[in-house]
């Protein structure tokens, strides 16, 4: 049976085939409209606020969050909600501090904004480096997840699965640029929201009310504990435990640190920030955040219901469990099995195809962001000092897309057996520690200088990476040492303030000629960022 994840279910393959054809048609349509650099990097600035909101939400509704968070709820209950809330609360911050200013100052990459009044070469080099690091870690996590998921869903061998993802996303980005990347993301977001809404509605309809669902889930968990030999009182406690926080947050420092990384990392993720350059003006940028926040919040509520639904409908059904009572295909399959329990083989196929589509859409956005950093920031602005021929810049960008896809495929295969769970939170920590402080202070502090942001951004980046390597997730889990040198789950609580402090201190001590230019440029930049005067036009035409 296909629900076991053994062989390729025909409905899944057929629906996935339909999605591939649809996205290739979108790519073909987008390729005809992608001529200039503004088309390639920013979809010509012609995406509406509502569309961009869906695309942004799509970037956050990755396979990792749909399957991963519902799996976490399936296993531990309430803890999954704590995790998902962290991914949502960064959005208001992006809106209040960043979105409109980004749109008013930038054209293609967040480095446009970060380097607006500074010496171009050093600031863009740093921004490009941090973009590539963030994108790479995020990409590896997605590729490894994709390979394992596709092997389970379609019975494909892991390297083929990774290669298919790499080739498909290359096609979207290479030929369709940002326009195709955005519309693939929008189509997927609508499909995923539709599928998740249907699943959550079916679960709630079956139980009548959330209270009935929770009560039944507690019974199921208690019965499972009793079956393992727990005394009745202990079993009841174990059952009740899913309704409150469990082991996810261990110590207050790790909790706070991860909270900060998720909250402020969102405002520093390059593949998210670039979406604000695809809309025509600040008003559309603002609207897109409202839509994105609404959709993401709604999606996490659905995931919560889906996770609890899986506890009852999947966790008690021997069809989905192996002889040891564990989930067939691994923990991440909770939502996929639930799809089968609700809608049979056909709906299972639909949800599997949507999960695959989710991965494709997210990696395409990541790749385009990495390629823009190389071609627009490193090649055109640093190497050619802003005098690059636009056609040559586009060629560099497309070559980088191919290169990044090859690297992603290679690393995806290389990391197959590794524990990559830390990589997404590392990407968030680096974004919060390097990009966010650099952007915020360059936008809002007159005294900020080139040397300050380069030093502070570098400190944040190195510290986030270094402390993560020394933390339990890598030092103990991956490298096999006995005890971690850095005992906390996330570095952001230390690396982010260190970056802010370094920017402040180095800027204050900076009396160079460049520093005078940097400070003199503040007022005009501020007025532009507040009013949109002189903002890059809505389209490149």
Partner 1 sequence: MDQRDAALELLAEHPRYRRLVRRRGRLALSLTALMLVGYLGYVLLVAFDKPLLARSLAGGATSWGIPIGLGVILLAIALTGIYVYRANREFDAEVAAIVAEARR
Task: Name the site residues for partner 1 (rule: CB under 8 A).
Answer: 78, 81-82, 85-86, 88-89, 91-93, 95-97, 100, 210-211, 214-215, 217-218, 240-241, 243-246, 249, 251-252, 255-256, 259, 263, 283, 286-287, 289-290, 293-294, 297, 300-301, 520-521, 523-524, 526-528, 530-534
Output 149 or 313, the one with its CB closest to partner 1. 313
CB 437, CB 499: distance < 8 Å: yes
- Select from 248, 357, 411, 499 the least CA-distant residue to 24: 357
Output 7 or 534, the one with its CB closest to partner 1. 534
* 3-state secondary structure (DSSP) of residue 327: strand
The least CB distance from residue 414 to partner 1, in Å, is: 35
Angle between helices 334-372 and 120-154 (to 10 degrees): 150
Output 155 or 246, the one with its CB closest to partner 1. 246
Residue 117 tokens read as 């009044």
Q: Identify each DSSP E strand in 399-462 by its residue range.
A: none
Output 218 or 405, the one with its CB closest to partner 1. 218
The least CB distance from residue 263 to partner 1, in Å, is: 6
Residue 472 tokens read as 């339990």
Output 117 or 328, the one with its CB closest to partner 1. 117
Output 247 or 480, the one with its CB closest to partner 1. 247
Output 250 or 385, the one with its CB closest to partner 1. 250
| Residue 95 vs residues 240, 285, 514: alpha-carbon distances, Å | 38, 8, 31
DSSP code at position 247? S
Please tell me the distance from the alpha carbon of residue 503 to that of residue 497, in angstroms, as a whole number. 10
The least CB distance from residue 236 to partner 1, in Å, is: 12
CB 377, CB 127: distance < 8 Å: yes
Output 251 or 389, the one with its CB closest to partner 1. 251
DSSP-assigned states of every residue in 274-315: GGGGSSSSHHHHHHHHHHHHHHHHHHHHHHHHHHHHHHHHTT
Q: What is the dihedral of CA 86, 89, 91, 93, to 10 degrees?
A: -120
The C-alpha angle with vertex 487 and arms to 486 and 493, in degrees rounded to 5, equals 75
Q: State the number of CA atoms in the 13 A half-sphere of 65 facing the CB.
A: 30
The least CB distance from residue 322 to partner 1, in Å, is: 28
Output 4 or 206, the one with its CB closest to partner 1. 206
Please tell me the distance from the alpha carbon of residue 156 to that of residue 152, in angstroms, as a whole number. 8
The least CB distance from residue 100 to partner 1, in Å, is: 8
The least CB distance from residue 25 to partner 1, in Å, is: 34
The least CB distance from residue 149 to partner 1, in Å, is: 27
The least CB distance from residue 513 to partner 1, in Å, is: 15
Please tell me the distance from the alpha carbon of residue 411 to that of residue 427, in angstroms, as a whole number. 16
Contacts with 248 (C-beta within 8 Å, 6 or more apart), sequence order: 72, 76, 79, 82, 83
The least CB distance from residue 256 to partner 1, in Å, is: 6
Output 267 or 314, the one with its CB closest to partner 1. 267
The least CB distance from residue 91 to partner 1, in Å, is: 6
One-letter-per-residue 3-state SS of 60-121: HCCHHHHHHHHHHHHHHCCHHHHHHHHHHCHHHHHHHHHHHHHHHHCCCCHHHHHCCCCCHH
Q: Which helix (H) or strand (E) holds 187?
A: helix 158-207
Output 95 or 454, the one with its CB closest to partner 1. 95
The least CB distance from residue 346 to partner 1, in Å, is: 32
| Neighbouring-strand partners of residue 321 | 327
């Amino acid at each position: 049976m296909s629900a076991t994840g053994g062989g390729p279910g025909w409905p899944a393959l057929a629906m996935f085939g339909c999605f591939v054809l649809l996205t290739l048609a979108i790519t073909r349509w987008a390729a005809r409209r992608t001529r200039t650099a503004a088309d390639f990097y920013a979809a010509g600035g012609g995406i509406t606020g509502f569309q961009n909101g869906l695309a942004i939400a799509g970037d956050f509704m990755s396979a990792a969050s749909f399957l991963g968070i519902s799996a976490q709820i399936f296993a531990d209950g309430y803890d999954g909600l704590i995790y998902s809330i962290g991914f949502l609360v960064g959005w208001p911050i992006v809106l209040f501090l960043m979105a409109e200013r980004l749109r008013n100052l930038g054209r293609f990459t967040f480095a446009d904004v970060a380097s607006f009044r500074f010496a171009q070469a050093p600031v863009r080099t740093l921004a490009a480096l941090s973009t590539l690091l963030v994108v790479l870690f995020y990409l590896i996590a997605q590729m490894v997840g994709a390979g394992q998921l596709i092997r389970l869903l379609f019975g494909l061998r892991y390297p083929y699965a990774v290669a298919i993802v790499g080739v498909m996303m290359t096609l979207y980005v290479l030929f369709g640029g940002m326009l195709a990347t955005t519309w693939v993301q929008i189509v997927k977001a609508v499909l995923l929201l539709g599928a998740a809404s249907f699943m959550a509605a079916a679960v709630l309809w079956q139980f009548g009310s959330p209270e009935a669902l929770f009560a039944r889930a507690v019974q199921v968990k208690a019965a499972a504990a009793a079956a393992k030999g727990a005394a009745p009182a202990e079993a009841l406690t174990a059952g009740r435990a899913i309704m409150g926080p469990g082991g996810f947050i261990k110590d207050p420092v790790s909790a706070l640190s991860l909270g900060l990384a998720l909250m402020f990392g969102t405002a520093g993720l390059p593949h998210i920030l670039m979406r604000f350059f695809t809309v025509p003006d600040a008003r559309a940028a603002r609207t897109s955040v409202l839509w994105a926040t609404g959709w993401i919040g709604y999606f996490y509520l659905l995931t919560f219901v889906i996770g609890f639904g899986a506890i009852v409908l999947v966790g008690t059904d021997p069809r989905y469990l192996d002889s040891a009572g564990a989930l067939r295909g691994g923990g991440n399959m909770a939502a996929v099995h639930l799809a089968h329990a609700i809608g049979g083989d056909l709906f299972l196929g639909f949800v599997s195809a949507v999960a695959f589509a989710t991965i494709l859409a997210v990696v395409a956005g990541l790749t385009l962001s990495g390629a823009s950093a190389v071609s627009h920031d490193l090649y055109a602005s640093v190497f050619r000092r802003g005098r690059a021929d636009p056609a040559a810049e586009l060629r560099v960008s497309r070559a980088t897309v191919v290169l990044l896809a090859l690297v992603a495929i290679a690393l995806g295969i290389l990391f197959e057996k590794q524990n990559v769970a830390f990589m997404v939170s590392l990407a968030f920590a680096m974004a919060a520690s390097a990009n966010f402080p650099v952007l915020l202070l360059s936008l809002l502090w007159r005294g900020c200088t080139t040397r300050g942001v380069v030093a502070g951004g570098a400190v944040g980046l190195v510290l986030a990476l270094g402390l993560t390597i020394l933390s339990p997730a890598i030092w103990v889990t991956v490298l096999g040492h006995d005890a971690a040198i850095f005992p906390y789950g996330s570095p952001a609580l230390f690396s982010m303030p260190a970056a802010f402090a370094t920017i402040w201190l180095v800027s204050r001590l900076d009396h160079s000629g460049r520093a005078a230019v940097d400070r003199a440029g503040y007022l005009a930049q501020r007025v532009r960022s507040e009013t949109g005067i002189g903002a890059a036009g809505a389209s490149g035409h």
